[in-house]
Chain A
């Protein structure tokens, strides 16, 4: 199985900050990576697919980059509604796997 390791696991930041979350894969996954946002008690929501393609309707302050084994999700200017847990997910090979999550909290 491909292991995805996110860092940091916990992040405290302020509204307006620029934040970056990293997702490292245990082996190369080309660009087959997606990012999700999950708020407490809710289902995850797709933000980005194929590393850098923003889902329609997702604010442009979200961006993704990377390839191979290292990927990043960047939020350029945090808004109050962005405080949530973020997950990466690989679809290079079965079984599909997720990172352990990064919890983003208000400082």
Chain B
């Protein structure tokens, strides 16, 4: 079964770039029909969809983050990545990666366990 695992620094300095990677096992990011998604959750708050990428490289971003965001795919490593530039304390959150069943509908299953990123000097 497909499993996802986030990795990356847990601490990022303000104004720097937050970089995370999601490794997909038990399946391939090259599989058609799925989008590969990033979602975040601010401490004690609800969920915010960040954006997703299709195996072809097509991306869709949340307009609220679009100017700072790049999501990319590395099919050779079965990974997809998130880069969020010019971070502030407001970007402190748990970041999740997930598979989006795009061809059937944009629900998310499964999810990675999540990784906490703190933006602080």
A: which residues have CB within 8 A of B? 32, 34, 36, 42-46, 49-50, 55, 87, 89, 91, 94-101
Contacts and interface: CB of A to CB of B under 8 A. Distances in A.
B106 A46 contact: no
A45 B46 CA distance: 14
A43 B106 CA distance: 17
A29 B113 CA distance: 29
A87 B47 contact: yes
Contacts of B108: 34, 36, 44, 46, 89
A45 B111 contact: yes
B47 A91 contact: no
29 contacts: A32-B105, A32-B106, A36-B108, A42-B113, A43-B96, A43-B112, A43-B114, A44-B96, A44-B108, A44-B111, A45-B109, A45-B111, A46-B109, A46-B110, A49-B101, A49-B105, A49-B107, A49-B109, A50-B107, A55-B109, A95-B62, A95-B63, A95-B64, A97-B49, A98-B46, A98-B49, A99-B46, A100-B46, A101-B46
Contacts of A46: 107-110
A42 B121 CA distance: 27
Contacts of A43: 96, 111-114
Interface string B14-53: 0000000000000000000000000000000011110000
Could you say which interface size class chain B belongs to? 20 to 34
